[in-house]
Structure 1
Amino acid sequence: MIDNSKLESLKKLLNDAECISIVTHPNPDGDAVGSSVGMCQILKNLGKEVYAIVPNSFPDFLAWMEEADKFLNFEKNPQEVINALGKSNLIICLDFNSLSRLNGMGEVVKEALAPKVLIDHHLYPEDDFILQFSELWVSSTCELVYHIAKGLDLLPMLSIGAAEALYAGIMTDTGSFSYSSSNPATFHVVADLLEMNIDKDKVHQVVYNTFSEERMRLMGYCLNEKMVVFREHKTAFIALTIKELNRFKHRSGDTEGLVNLPLSIKDVNFSVLFTEQTDGYVKLSLRSKGDFSVNEFSRKYFYGGGHKNAAGGRIQMKLPEVIKYFEICVRENADKIVKSI
C-alpha cells in the first residue's frame, strides 16, 4: 500500500500551502479530469484556494463533473494559468509521469517556484517532483487519489459529486473493469464510493451514451473504410487525417475508444489509432491483449509510453510515412505480438 512517510510529507506540504494548483496532462481523459475534480474538492473543503489546470480542452462527456467548468485552460488562456501557478504554494501533478508530457505547458510548470508533487500510476516517472506517489498497483490515478485521501483521513472532505468523478475515472481507465482491474483493492474502493451514494448508472450513461450522431458515423466509417488488419501479425490499425476528422465535425473526445474496436476481433492482439494533428505531429493510441507491452513499443518507437496494455505516443512525421514506419516496427515485433496470448 502507500508509504506512511510519504503521506506524512504530503500532509505537511498541504498544511503549509494556502494556494494549490492541480495540473494534468494534454487531451485529458476520464482519469485525468476525475482525479483533478476529486483532489480539487478535497482541498477546497480544507479551506484551500485551488486552481485546476488542463493544457487543453477535455471532451464534452466529462463536462458534467463537479466544477469542471471552472478548470483553467492553458491553450485558451495561458496567462491565466501562468498567474495561477505563480500564486501557488504547491503544485500537484496528476496522471502523468514527466513535465515533458505537458508539451508547451511543461516549461511553464517547471519554471514555477512552488514544490511539485506527483500522483500517478504510470511506469518510469521522472525526477521533476519533490515527492512522488507513483503506484503501479492501482487501476487509475482516481483510485490512487482515493487511497491517499483515506490515508490522510480526508474522505469526509469528498462530496458525492467528487466521488462520482473518481468513480468515472476508475471506470474509464479500466474499460468498465475489463482490464487493469484485477486487484481486489479496486473493487473495495468502488464499494466504498457506492456507500457514499454515488449514482453509478448515471455516470455510465453520461460517459458512454451521450455521443453525437457525427461521432457514431465516424465510428462506422472507421470500421468500414479505415480499419486495416495484418492477419499474419495479429495487428490492426485505423488512421485518420485532419480532413476526415473535419468531415465528421470532430470534437475533443470523438476518437475516444476507437482504438479498442479492432481488439474485438478474435485474432487481433494489437491495435493502433493514428490521428493527424494540425501541428505536424501524428498522435497514436495503442492497445494490446496479453503479454505484448504497448508501453515498451511506444517508448521505443514513438516517444510515448503508458501501461502494458494501453499507451500513447506522438511523432513528427507525415501520416503515410508514419504508417510505413509502423509496418516496419510491427514486423520487428511480430513474434511477440502473435504469441502475446
Structure 2
Amino acid sequence: MIDNSKLEILKKLLNDAQCISIVTHPNPDGDAVGSSIGIYQILKQLGREVYSIVPNSFPDFLAWMEDADKCLNFEKNPQDVSDVLGRSDLILCLDFNSISRLNGMGDVVKATSAPKVLIDHHLYPEDDFILQFSELSVSSTCELVYHIIKGLDYQSLFTIGAAEALYAGIMTDTGSFSYSSSNPATFHVVADLLGLDIDKDKIHQAIYNTFSEERMRLMGYCLNEKMVVFREHKTAYIALTLKELNRFKHRSGDTEGLVNLPLSIKDVNFSVLFTEQTDGNVKLSLRSKGEFSVNEFSRKYFYGGGHKNAAGGRIQMKLPEVIKYFEICVRENADKIVKSI
C-alpha cells in the first residue's frame, strides 16, 4: 500500500533530524490525538527530541492517553510552540491536508525552514509538503501511521501507550467500526494492536462513557427541542447558538457525535450540526448515508471538506442566515440526497 521509496526518504529524514515536531489540526479529535501520540512514543524511543503540538485543546475524554499531558498547546502557549517549531529539523503533519487548516499556527509552520511531511487520509492534499503519505483507502490517520511504522521496521518500538492511542483513533474515526471500515486491512491492524495486550474495553469506556451530566442534557435538548427534519428531502439538522451551548456549560468535545443522532431515523440520509462560534463563524459537521457526498457539498457551499460521508465546514454568517442558505442548498441537491440509498 505504501511506496517503499517514500519510506526510504522518510527514514532518512528521521535519521537526520534531532528535533522533530508533530502537528495536527484545530479541535483535534481521536484520530488526530491518537496518531500524534502514537508516532510521538515511537520516535521518542529513537532517542530524538520530539514534540507533539496541538493548535488548541482537545476533549477531556481523550486525556487518558499516555503522554497526552505532554502535548504543547499553541493557543495557550504560542511563544513556546513557535520556539519549538523554529528549531525543529522535521515537522510531521498528521490528519489534515493543508497547512492553511492550522489557522494562526499555520503561519508559524509555514515560516519554518524544516521539511514538512504529510501523513493523512483526506481528499485533495495541497502542495505544502516535501513528502506525502496520503492514503484515502485507510480508515484513519492512525491506521496509516501503523502501516508507516511497520514499513519503517519500527514495530519493535511499539509501546502499550502507542498501541492504545492508535486503536482509539481507528475506533473513533470509524464510529466504533460502523463506517469507513469495510477494508479487511483495517481489522488486521486492529488485531495486531489487540495482540499487544491493549485494553479495548477500557478505551471504549474512557471515550464513550465518561461524559458530564450537562453533556447528556444537551443531547436530550438537541433531540427534543432543536432537531429539524425535512422528511421530503430526507435531511435533518441541529443548530446550537452560543447561548445554548453556554446554558449546558459546553466544553470541548461535548458536541462530538451529536450530528450522527438524526441519521438513526429510518428516512434521514443527510444530517448537519451547526454550532455558533465565538469568532462570528458558524461551524458545520456533516454526515450522510450511502452515495451522497458531504465532502462535495461542504466544499461547494461551506468552504470545507473531508470524506464522502463525513465532512466539516465553516462560514462567516449569522446562524439564522446560515440556516436559510442551507435550506436552499438542500433543495438544490434534494434529488441526490433522496436517492442516496
Could you say whether these structures have the same fold, taking a TM-score greater than 0.5 normalized by the shorter chain as the test? Answer: yes
Give 1:55-74 correspondences, 5 Å limit. Answer: 55-74=55-74
2:75 equivalent in structure 1: 75
Letter in 2 for 1:221: Y
| Aligned-pair CA distance for 1:289 | 0.1
1:31 equivalent in structure 2: 31
Q: Distance in 1 between matches of 2:311 and 2:37?
A: 23
Give 1:93-108 correspondences, 5 Å limit. Answer: 93-108=93-108
Superposed CA offset, 1:28-69 (max 9, x none): 000000000001001001111001000000000000011100
Letter in 2 for 1:268: V
Letter in 2 for 1:121: H
Letter in 1 for 2:43: L
Q: Distance in 1 between matches of 2:115 and 2:254?
A: 35
Q: Distance in 2 between matches of 1:103 and 1:235?
A: 31
SS in 2 for 1:138: coil
| Aligned-pair CA distance for 1:158 | 1.5
1:310 equivalent in structure 2: 310
1:184 aligns with 2:188: no
Greater Cα shift, 153-162 or 266-275: 153-162
1:270 equivalent in structure 2: 270
Q: Which runs of 4+ in 1 moved over 3 A?
A: none
Q: Distance in 2 between matches of 1:113 and 1:61?
A: 35
1:143 aligns with 2:143: yes
| Aligned-pair CA distance for 1:330 | 0.4
| Aligned-pair CA distance for 1:157 | 1.2
Q: Distance in 1 between matches of 2:79 and 2:303?
A: 29
Letter in 2 for 1:139: S
| Aligned-pair CA distance for 1:112 | 1.1
Superposed CA offset, 1:278-305 (max 9, x none): 0010000000000000000000000000
Q: Distance in 2 between matches of 1:112 and 1:331?
A: 45
SS in 1 for 2:43: helix
SS in 1 for 2:236: strand
Q: Distance in 1 between matches of 2:108 and 2:329?
A: 34
SS in 1 for 2:93: strand
Q: Distance in 2 between matches of 1:330 and 1:98?
A: 28
| Aligned-pair CA distance for 1:104 | 1.2
1:118 equivalent in structure 2: 118
SS in 2 for 1:207: helix
Letter in 2 for 1:145: V
1:168 equivalent in structure 2: 168
Letter in 1 for 2:35: S
1:322 equivalent in structure 2: 322
1:193 equivalent in structure 2: 193
Q: Distance in 2 between matches of 1:5 and 1:106?
A: 28
Letter in 1 for 2:124: Y
Q: Distance in 1 between matches of 2:114 and 2:293?
A: 35
Superposed CA offset, 1:129-157 (max 9, x none): 00000000100000000000000111111
Q: Distance in 1 between matches of 2:6 and 2:298?
A: 31
Q: Distance in 2 between matches of 1:260 and 1:319?
A: 20
Letter in 2 for 1:290: G
Q: Distance in 1 between matches of 2:125 and 2:47?
A: 30
Q: Distance in 1 between matches of 2:323 and 2:141?
A: 32
Superposed CA offset, 1:72-121 (max 9, x none): 11111100110010110000000000011111111111111100000000
Letter in 2 for 1:249: K
Q: Distance in 1 between matches of 2:158 and 2:80?
A: 27
Q: Distance in 2 between matches of 1:287 and 1:155?
A: 35
Gapped runs of 5+ residues in structure 2? none
Q: Distance in 1 between matches of 2:302 and 2:146?
A: 32
Provide the aligned C-alpha RMSD in A: 0.4
1:339 equivalent in structure 2: 339
Q: Distance in 1 between matches of 2:331 and 2:112?
A: 44
Work out the number of aligned pairs and report it. Answer: 341
Letter in 1 for 2:97: N
Q: Distance in 1 between matches of 2:170 and 2:116?
A: 24
Superposition TM-score, scaled by structure 2 size: 1.00
| Aligned-pair CA distance for 1:168 | 0.3
